[in-house]
Chains A and B, each alone.
Chain A
């Protein structure tokens, strides 16, 4: 996968990706937890099975995002360390 990144002078960039980063990481986790919380309060505690899919989709969103967040954050740390050297 060839990315346009190679042509870019990072010093000239307005670092839009930095502004997005907290949103990219935090929002999906919040949505995932919200789905699970809703399943717990309106489904599990009330004995209502209508909310079961919310539990699974909440888990999928959280696991799916964490699976990509970890290598992403690792890559930031590694690249930043290299740059600092």
Chain B
């Protein structure tokens, strides 16, 4: 028993000795969001489709409940590592981030959803890092080019004109979404939803001009091993 207590104390000491840089923790958390693209790889089996339907909103609901409890003071903010000062009395940006991903996965075609999610997961932290070291105009240029490359890959099956049109508008939307900050609406939400809504309008409008858009998937569902 004494040995167990001693080991537990040693483990606790080791865990306490691990210190995190909240800045890099937030960056890694952003990049982690790209994992949600796994959603598209899940096989189209009935029971998996049920899970695909219920698990993402369940995760969001859980995060939302945690945030409400935190804002009501039932859970201490100390349990939420890496929160910014302005998030102390507001819903944390990770909830906005998750909410936008959920909307994109559920309601938008892959060609729009995937690059928009990557803009939030990769372009946003890259722009954040560049903002520390370089002038703001370079930040916008890098953010624009990076986001544009995501949209170009997503639309590589389209005509070159459509590919550039979608890429430029999508990337511009991502950069605008990143720069616009409101107290009540986080840039993690805007960077995903501004380009998504702009592109959805184009997506709906183009067929009326006789221009076809490739409708095939980008990421294909996996096959069950049985």
Q: How far is the CB of B110 from chain A (nearest CB, A)?
A: 9
Whether the pair B154, A61 counts as a contact (CB closer than 8 A) is no
B187 to chain A, nearest CB (A): 12
Q: For residue B219, which residues in chain A have a CB less than 8 angstroms away from its CB?
A: 35, 53-54, 57
Asked whether A80 and B222 contact (CB < 8 A) given A24-B32, A56-B153, A71-B24, the answer is no
Q: Mark contacts of A38-73 with chain B using CB atoms, 8 A cut-off: 1 yes-contact digit, 0 otherwise.
A: 100010000000111110110011001101110110
Residues 14-49 (chain A) with a chain B CB within 8 angstroms = 14-18, 23-25, 27-28, 30-32, 34-35, 38, 42
A25 touches B20 (CB 8 A): no
By DSSP majority rule, is chain A's interface helix, strand, loop, or mixed?
helix
In the complex, the answer to whether A11 meets B24 with C-beta atoms within 8 Å is: no
Are A18 and B15 neighbours in the complex by a CB distance under 8 Å? yes
Residues of B within 8 A of A24 (CB): 28-29, 32
Interface size class of A (residues with CB under 8 A): 35 or more
| Interface locus among B81-89, B162-170, B192-200 | B81-89
Residues of A near B83 (CB, < 8 A) are: 3-4
Residues of B within 8 A of A30 (CB): 35
**In the complex, residue of chain A having the shortest beta-carbon distance to the beta carbon of B84:** A3
Contact A60 B150 (CB under 8 A): yes
Contacting pair B19 A3 (CB below 8 A): no
In the complex formed, the residue of B with least CB distance to A48 is: B220
Is B79 part of the contact surface with A, judged by Cβ < 8 Å?
A: yes
Instruction: Kindly list chain B residues whose C-beta atoms are within 8 Å of the C-beta of A13.
Output: 78-79, 81
Q: Taking the nearest CB of chain B, how far is it from the CB of A74, in angstroms?
A: 8
A16 in complex: contacting residue of B30, B81, B84, CB < 8 Å: B81
